Amino acid sequence: MNRGPLLCAGVMLGVGLGGFVDGILLHQLLQWHNMLSSHLPPDTLVNAKVNMFWDGLFHAFTWLMTFSGLMLLWRAGLRTDVPWSSRTFAGCLLGGWGLFNVVEGLIDHQLLGVHHVRTGPSQIAWDVGFLLFGLALLLSGGALIRAGREDVTPRGGVATP
């Protein structure tokens, strides 16, 4: 059995969906930050428009990751050598979301400093919490993926002898 196609699809979907959670929750609903809010605070109409444009590029990236993950999942579903495992797939979704948080947190929040989770006196605590949440998602996703190694049900739900 070949778990690779399911692993790739799940991680790609997890990255995309994790990015959507970040963009919808932190950028739009809570309005804690925008993509460039540390360098261009959205306190003028021009700065707000520039931030909105970069937020749109961010959402386009998350949409492309989600779409790519769906296409990979579709292709995996056409293969009879790919075992269907809810534990593996859920683990990949969590791991992909965690991967998104860790990479985004390290690059955007720490290295480039283009924005922080929540600006203010406790911004480092929010950034560290974001990274720890991502690490927890990665670890729990990895545990589910390891547990899913035992699942060998092929497409169609019929186990092979």
Q: SS3 for 113? A: coil
Each residue's pLDDT, cut to its tens digit, for the chain (161 residues) gives 899 999 999 999 999 999 999 999 999 999 999 999 999 999 999 999 999 999 999 999 999 999 999 999 999 999 989 998 999 999 999 999 999 999 999 999 999 999 999 999 999 999 999 999 999 999 999 999 999 998 877 665 555 44
Residue 60 and residue 16: Cα distance in Å, rounded?
10
* Sign of torsion over alpha carbons 133, 56, 112, 114: negative
Sequence-separated (6 or more) residues with CB below 8 Å from residue 144: 87, 88, 90, 91, 94
**Pairwise CA distance, residues 34 & 134, whole Å:** 19
